[in-house]
Amino acid sequence: MSGKNISGKELSALEKSKIAEKVKRLNSEGIYPKLSVIIVGENPASQSYVRGKHKDCAECGIISENIALPESVSQDELLSEIDRLNGDETVDGILVQLPLPRHIDEYSVINRISPEKDVDGFTAVNVGSLYLGKDCFTPCTPQGCIDLLDFAGVEIRGKKAVVIGRSNIVGKPVAQLLLQRNATVTVCHSKTKNLAEITKKADIIIVAIGKLGFLTGDMISDGAVIVDVGINRGRDGKLHGDADYETCIEKVSKITPVPGGVGLMTRVNLLKNTVKSAENRAKNA
Ligand code: NDP
């Protein structure tokens, strides 16, 4: 590892200790932050992500509940479960682990979650609020990218930022957050022509496409900052990002490693949003 790495490990540890303090304070006021996670089916990757979420909650004193539903669950049954959690005053955050089985409409399910408990920030209400610059639950991964830039002392204002990828959960919201921080933002995708010409002019590059080693050193300028969101399993069995670390490290001023970068911040921001929801509950009590 190099001194150019922006350590998600270090930042997530710092943030977790702050979260644990906040939870203690809330507990002393009789508020016990709680996250409910719904998982449908037996997808091993989803199960592993969910286990990680429960472990993180336990570390910070947040109560977490696992609601495992069979692959065959009907959409109506899933919606009723969300309704029940929406009405449960002890539940601060509701998360439906994606992807859902094909017979279930993801949009309808996500939008059934009360926006006040939507700690993933995926409901249309929270997405709309993000775009309007209103207070909301910011989605965890895009916020994690910004947190890492701030942690590394990277100035965002006035910088040329290029986002590669335009998914609803990463590319589009991270572009919006960069815009709010006064970057000049270009969003690229699979139909973008001459991508390298665009990335070579960027001060900050956020890459989120799911293609191992896609962004190579010859596509960036000296001193660029790379935030690598990608998580790809290599032939070596290890996790790798969307940036080709070996060729990029020579030229970047900063880069987030994979693993040990954005992924850890995604996890922390879920905890932060859950505590924020519990704090709102405390205010309204
Ligand atoms: P999606 O598959 O939803 O979106 C991929 C995006 O990449 C699309 O916008 C697509 O363009 C674009 N793309 C694909 N190929 C190219 C290309 N050759 N050139 C330019 N753009 C391209 O992925 P996600 O946003 O959900 O995830 C992206 C990566 O981030 C994955 O590796 C995922 O595992 C990881 N991830 C990591 C998280 C973390 O916590 N670290 C959290 C979430 C995701 P188009 O729209 O034109 O199809």
125 pLDDT higher than 50: yes
Pocket test for ligand 1, best of 95, 138, 167, 233 (most atoms within 8 A of CB): 167
> How close is the Cα of 241 to the center of ligand 1, in Å?
11
Evaluate whether 269 touches 144 at the Cβ level (below 8 Å): yes
> How close is the Cα of 210 to the center of ligand 1, in Å?
5
pLDDT of residue 285: 83
Separation CA 205–CA 35 (nearest Å): 33
Catalytic residue flag (residue 120) = yes
Q: For residue 2, name the pLDDT band (cuts at 50, 70, 90).
A: low
Cα angle 230, 251, 203 (rounded to 5 degrees) comes to 70
> Dihedral angle at the C-alpha atoms of 23, 25, 31, 33, nearest 10 degrees?
-10
Helix (H) or strand (E) holding 18: helix 8-28
Task: Please give the mean pLDDT across all residues of the chain.
Answer: 97
The set of protein residues with a Cβ atom below 6 angstroms from ligand 1 is 141, 164-167, 169-171, 188-192, 195, 208-211, 229-232, 262-263, 266
> Dihedral angle at the C-alpha atoms of 259, 149, 153, 250, nearest 10 degrees?
60
Q: For residue 1, name the pLDDT band (cuts at 50, 70, 90).
A: very low
Buried b or exposed e, range 165-182, using 16+ CB within 10 angstroms:
bbeebbbbbbbbbbbebe
Of 195, 204, 145, the residue nearest 169 (C-alpha): 145
pLDDT of residue 242: 98
CB atoms within 10 A of CB 131: 14
Give 12's Cβ-side CA count (13 Å radius). 24
Measured distance between the N- and C-terminal CA atoms of the chain, rounded to whole angstroms: 47
Of the residues 22, 53, 172, 254, only one is catalytic, namely: 53
163 pLDDT higher than 50: yes
Separation CA 183–CA 188 (nearest Å): 15
Q: Residue holding tokens 């990002």?
A: 241
Question: What would the mean pLDDT of 243-272 be, rounded to a whole number?
Answer: 98
Helix (H) or strand (E) holding 150: helix 140-151
Question: What would the mean pLDDT of 133-148 be, rounded to a whole number?
Answer: 98
Question: What would the mean pLDDT of 120-148 be, rounded to a whole number?
Answer: 98
CB atoms within 10 A of CB 99: 12
Residue nearest to atom 16 of ligand 1 (CA): 190
Provide CB contacts within 8 A for 48, sequence distance 6+: none
Catalytic residue flag (residue 83) = no
Separation CA 120–CA 266 (nearest Å): 10
> How close is the Cα of 168 to the center of ligand 1, in Å?
10
22 pLDDT higher than 90: yes
58 pLDDT higher than 80: yes
Separation CA 17–CA 25 (nearest Å): 13
Of the residues 56, 120, 228, 244, only one is catalytic, namely: 120
Separation CA 178–CA 145 (nearest Å): 10
Of 277, 268, 273, the residue nearest 90 (C-alpha): 277
179 pLDDT higher than 90: yes
pLDDT in tens, 71-82: 999 999 999 999
Of 260, 258, 264, 263, the residue nearest 240 (C-alpha): 258
Of the residues 22, 97, 143, 254, only one is catalytic, namely: 97
SS3 16: helix
pLDDT of residue 265: 98
Helix (H) or strand (E) holding 254: strand 254-255
